[in-house]
Homo-oligomer: A and B are copies of this chain.
Amino acid sequence: MAELRKDYILDQYVIIAQERAKRPSQFSRSPPTPSSDKDCPLCPHNEHMIPGVLEQVGDGRGGWLMRAIPNKFAAVGQEGSAALSTHDPLFVHGLALGEHEVIIDTPHHDMEFEDLSVEHIERLLQFYAHRARVVESKPHVRYTALFKNRGEEAGASISHSHAQIIGLSVFPPAVARLFDRAYDYALRNESCPFCDVIRREKHSKRLIFINKTFVCIAPFASRFPFEAWILPLRHVPAMDKLRKEEFSDFAHMLRKVLRRLGTLGVPPYNLVFYNDERQGMFHFHVQVLPRLAKWAGFEHEVSVPINPVPPESASSFYREG
């Protein structure tokens, strides 16, 4: 019998359609055809194809390990006024202002993120955190989105491993709702909702992995098949507040989760990082969103995703995969 589940704190329902459940192997895909590095703008020999380099981490031998570059096809611009024209309530608009950069994870064209060494991923997460903080500190930026798209179906237009940062001059209403809900919960319960979720889920069937400072769970109201959240056990509002050993545990866990997911045949996924740089009361976490099911008319009409994989099965897949 299909089940209806509400998100921990958001007014967001999902349908866990057990009748439609498949075995993990039925989600398996053939790995995508490797792309050529000849025309790849993110490769070291194609520097003429990029607008410049914002910052990079050297390899100690004249090369680089990772670098931040401006997005050549930026979704937001850097010049003009951030004011919204609001005098006509049906037609509110303004310039889409902010920052849009790309972080190239590695100089190697055909390395998947999860095939990088733990040390490299640890250094990369620190670099992500640092660049997100740099973007956040710009005066016209009100919210900084940090995310990674892997695979065409997950919206990646370039296969060379990379992440993106978009700093926006408006605070996105959907994120404001999330932060408000967390704050409301904290006020009413004198406790962070994510700390409470961790306390409860680490003894549930939805636990995937736990180490000294990090936990990974399949969330109760998973919207995507094999959705996984990775959270620090300690209440930390933003990634740049993590300690050295936490970064290491984080890298270990993220790599492990993505490698298990990869056994389905290099599936498309998004990683989204929820940082709270301003109010500082949110609980930093990363959501792994595999894109193995299509959102159809129903999802777009009523915003109630239908997920054929119960999180209790997803957690078994990751643990035993």
A8 touches B90 (CB 8 A): yes
CB distance B170 to A13 under 8 Å? yes
- Contacting residues, chain B, for A91 (C-beta < 8 A): 5, 8, 200, 220
Question: A interface, by DSSP: helix, strand, loop or mixed?
Answer: mixed
Q: Which residues of B contact A272 (CB under 8 A)?
A: 297, 300-301
The answer to whether residues A2 and B296 also contact, given A173-B303, A302-B172 and a CB cut-off of 8 A, is no
A154 touches B296 (CB 8 A): yes
For A206-234 the 0/1 string (1 means CB < 8 A from B) is: 00000000000000100000000000000
Closest Cβ neighbor of A270 among chain B residues: B297
Query: Of all chain B residues, which has the CB nearest A82?
Result: B4
Q: CB-nearest residue of chain B relative to A144?
A: B302
> Which residues of A300-320 have CB atoms within 8 Å of chain B's CB atoms?
300-304, 306
Q: Does chain B have a CB within 8 A of A77? A: yes
Q: Would A93 and B5 count as touching, CB distance under 8 A?
A: yes
Roughly how many angstroms separate A193 CA and B90 CA in the complex, as a whole number?
8
Expressed in whole angstroms, the minimum distance between the Cβ of A206 and any Cβ of chain B is 10
**Total interface residues in chain A, CB < 8 Å:** 75
Listed stretches A33-41, A127-135, A145-153; interface member: A145-153
Check if A261 is an interface residue, CB within 8 A of chain B. Answer: no
Could you tell me which residues of chain A, from 57 to 104, have a CB within 8 Å of some CB in chain B? 73-77, 79-80, 84, 90-97
C-alpha spacing A155/B294, complex, angstroms? 5
A143 within 8 A of B: yes
Does A15 have its Cβ within 8 Å of any Cβ on chain B? yes
**Interface-lining segment among A16-24, A48-56, A249-257:** A16-24
Most B C-beta atoms less than 10 A away, residue of A4, A74, A156, A168: A4
A96 / chain B contacts, CB cutoff of 8 Å: 1-4, 15-17
Distance in angstroms between the alpha carbons of A15 and B79 in the assembled complex: 15
A20 cross-chain contacts in B, Cβ below 8 A:
73, 75
- Distance of A240 Cα from B96 Cα, bound (Å): 40
With A20-B75, A153-B294, A174-B304 known, 6 other A-B pairs at CB within 8 A are A1-B95, A2-B76, A6-B92, A17-B73, A147-B297, A168-B304
